[in-house]
Structure 1
Amino acid sequence: MSNLVMALAFLLFGGAEDPLPSGPAFGISVNGVPLRPHMMAFTAFPHETVTLSYRDSLNWSVPDLGFTGTGKEFSFNLPGSHGTYTVTASDSETVQDYIMVVPLNTAQFRTNTLNSFPIGFYGDGNTRDNLPDKGFIELWPGTFDARISTHLTFSDFLGHTEGGWPQYMVLDLRLVHKLECVFEQVALLYPEARSIHCISGFRTPAYNAAIGNDTGFSLHLYGAAADFWIEGWPDNDLIDDLDRNKRIDVYDGEFIVEITRALEAAGEVATGGASAYRWIPTHGPFVHLDTRGSAAVWQTRQSLVDNPVI
């Protein structure tokens, strides 16, 4: 290797470490239901009594609400307000943060904005029938980049921000679990996989219309769909050659779709739409997955640029 090549390699990668994100340290249960593998977030509701548990005694705290406790179980009563809270569990060696989402009930959404955050109208805006039933998640700078699973944060699913704080989004946590399970299976066959790159998650109706989508019932509006790819390290904003055919092409996306269908058939993830998209002028191939409840596939556009040989 020439001195020039070695110098460039050092400048690009010197001191950098291959990231290997770790999953949750403790497999806790929420109200008796085990948190799904890879997940670090759960939903609760105003006035609910929440009980967290683990097989061993832990130190527990919800700093923003002033709750603390020690033991195999930790219970507390939520106030009547919404919010996004850090829940900390620790033992003598490890500290693990989880995120508790207390959504804003959509009954409180009466105009096309929330605290000046532009949302637009669901459906024709004349009824409340099409509002998200999961409620809106309120995000502030301290929670915007909070990790909600091994590889994903809230910000991964909110690809656009509007104005100041707070920001709002809707997110089906089953989608987060589905992406993590797909990644896990991909990594078994392609060990170089390191990250899930989400290019589109939740979209407000206003933003969806602004980018030219005329449907008012896209699953992106309900936080139940994601467009993404899987890549190795270092990130290069491009899906990896997952099927090892020496090309970056739609078949790398089909590789992900096939794994998804196997997981759905086994009942390990929520069933939904899955389609691989080809190269477009702005970026490479990607995959759409959602949690609509029934299997769906559709014809995607033909390649608009040549598939490069790598």
Structure 2
Amino acid sequence: MKLIGILLISMLTTLLSKHLFASQPAKTAHQVVDIQNRPAFEDAEFSLKINDIVMPYSLFSVFVMPNEQVEFEVLYAQSPDAYTLISDEKFMLTDTNRWQWQAPDTPGLTSVIIESPNKKQRMKINVFVKVPADKVEGGKLKYYQIGHYPKPSQIKDSKHYIVPDGFVEVTPENEGTKLSPHFSLKEFVSKQKSNHPKYLFLQNKLLLKLEMIRKELILEGIPVSNIVVMSGYRTPYYNKAIGNVKLSRHVFGDAADIFIDNDGNYRMDDINKDAKYTIEDAKVMANIVESLARRESFKGLLGGLGVYGPKPHRGAFIHVDTRGFKARWVSK
């Protein structure tokens, strides 16, 4: 009887197991990605810590004040031998693969090169020395309309807002400069009409977030040859002119409205392949950004995520920023 009981329990368990699992669709493994377009993943063989950010790209940018001290440190070194920093500016070796670098005293563009011991790997950092914010007079820098920023004391939860200490001067000569592997300086300039020079405030974390989003889209099987930054930085002047909220993240240099545009028609592509161009395409992008937000490695880049449907004058897009906490919204 004991043996029969055991057999009955075993049979019942097997039947129950089949019933439970038959009612659930089988989970498929994450599709293996055959990366044929290696330039789409321009990671360096090592990472570089720049003050308080860590980036893995062979090309990146930082925005500093005149004479500012910047610490560069190689992380995940691939050799026991020392790496080399190359620069025309002053710097000091403070430890193996760690340097204290000083920005020049005048605004402009310079660069820092970090080179591996075998000289086969080079990481280039474009350093933009900003024009100090105290040069803004009457809401203008030279003839460029900046407008007026609120004082930190006038901002609720001011710790989540960085009021610019300076602005990058954008000229015909430097506007094509790559800030990261896939984004250029001119893409983030405020859309207001003006001659050069123009001025820009941008935060490094936004560049890191955009590159991570681009990479994840490709890993999820979405072709990406071009992500359009429809709106990056906005001066307070321009932000007010278009009737946007006073404390828009765009004004503080950590927000971008983006969409995938591989065919070059300046509209969001049909990402979900339903032969339509709707808000559903933006939701596909948003869902992938949301999946990134759940990862520990993305924690320092948390921020807003907005989904926008198409209008007669534009296609669908998503808004992303690095405000430091989650904010979610949908606008049809």
TM-score (norm 1): 0.75
In 2, the alpha carbon distance for the partners of 1:264 and 1:218 equals 21
**In the alignment, structure 1 residue 98 sits paired with structure 2 residue 122:** no
Q: Does 1:281 align with 2:315?
A: no
Picking from 228, 238, 247, the partner of 1:217 is: 247
Distance in 1 (alpha carbons) for counterparts of 2:252 and 2:122: 33
Aligned position for 2:275: 246
Query: Does 2:143 match 1:116?
Result: yes
Q: How far apart in 1 are the matches of 2:238 and 2:326?
A: 27
Local SS of the residue matching 2:288: helix
Partner of 2:189: 158
Matching of residue 231 in structure 1 with residue 261 in structure 2 = yes
* Pairing partner for 2:326 from 295, 302, 307: 295
Shift of 1:109: 3.0
Tell me the residue number matched to 1:306: none
Q: C-alpha distance in 2, partners of 1:195/1:159?
A: 20
In structure 2, what residue type is equivalent to 1:122? Y
1:27 to 32, 43, 46: 46
Code of the aligned partner of 2:138? T
Query: Would you say the 8 A contact 2:109–2:128 is kept in 1?
Result: yes
Contact 1:26–1:96 at 8 Å: present in 2 too? Answer: no
After superposition, give the CA deviation of every residue in 1:205-240 in whole Å (9 maximum; x if it has no partner).
222233x314221111111211110233x4332222
For the pair 1:262 / 2:291, whether they are aligned, the reply is: yes
Paired residues for 1:160-239 under 5 Å:
160=191, 162-210=193-241, 212-232=242-262, 234-239=263-268
Whole-angstrom CA distance in 2 between matches of 1:32 and 1:278: 38
Q: Distance in 2 between matches of 1:77 and 1:273?
A: 34
Equivalent in the alignment of 2:103: 78
Larger Rg: 2
The letter of the residue matching 1:27 is F
Residues 112 and 102 (structure 1), Cα distance of their counterparts in 2 relative to 1, 3 Å cut: same
Letter in structure 2 aligned against 1:83: G
Q: Is the 8 A contact 1:60 1:68 kept in 2?
A: no
Q: Percent identity over the alignment?
A: 23
Letter paired with 2:181? T
Q: Deviations over 1:253-274 (max 9, x none)?
A: 1111112222222231522221
**Distance in 1 separating the partners of 2:134 and 2:153:** 8
The C-alpha deviation readout for 1:114-160, integer Å capped at 9, x for no partner, is 1221111224xx99856824532222333322111121111111153
Report how far residue 166 of structure 1 moved.
Answer: 2.7
Q: Deviations over 1:85-135 (max 9, x none)?
A: 222345644555321233344344342001221111224xx9985682453
In structure 2, stretches of 5+ residues that fail to align are: 1-36, 156-161
- Letter paired with 2:48: S
Change (3 A) 1:158 1:88: same
Looking at structure 2, the residues matched to 192 and 186 of structure 1 have their Cα atoms a distance apart, in angstroms, of 8
Amino acid at match of 1:247: K
Preserved CA contact (<8 Å) 1:190 1:242: no
CA contact (8 A) 1:84 1:138 kept: no
Match of 2:86 in 1: 61
CA contact (8 A) 2:113 2:122 kept: yes
User: Runs of 5+ in structure 1 lacking a partner?
Assistant: 1-17, 302-310
**Cα distance in 1 between the residues matched to 2:292 and 2:187:** 23
Q: How far apart are residue 250 of structure 1 and its match? A: 0.8
The 1:68–1:293 alpha-carbon spacing in structure 2 relative to 1, beyond 3 Å, is closer
CA contact (8 A) 1:264 1:271 kept: yes
Letter in 1 for 2:259: W
Higher normalized strand content (fraction of residues): 2
SS of match in other structure, 1:29: strand
Query: What is the aligned partner in structure 2 of residue 47 from structure 1?
Result: 67
Equivalent-residue separation in structure 1 for 2:220 and 2:110 (angstroms): 36
**1:245/1:19 CA distance change after superposition, 3 Å:** farther
**Mapped partners of 2:153, 2:108: distance in 1:** 23
3-state SS of paired residue (1:206): helix
Say which SS state the counterpart of residue 62 (structure 2) adopts.
strand
1:37 aligns with 2:48: no
Matched, 1:88 2:113: yes
Which string of whole-angstrom CA distances, capped at 9 and with x for unpartnered residues, describes residues 52-97 of structure 1? Answer: 344355554335x48799x955543334444332223456445553
Alpha-carbon shift at residue 36 of structure 1 (Å): 1.8
Number of positions where the alignment pairs a residue of Structure 1 with one of Structure 2: 278
Q: CA RMSD in A?
A: 3.2
The answer to whether the Cα contact below 8 Å between 1:159 and 1:199 also exists between their aligned partners in 2 is no
| Alignment counterpart, residue 302 of structure 2, candidates 271, 282, 286 | 271
2:215 maps to a residue whose letter is: E
Deviation at 1:280, TM superposition (A): 0.7
Q: Do the aligned partners of residues 27 and 117 (structure 1) sit closer, same or farther apart at CA in structure 2, a change above 3 Å counting?
A: farther
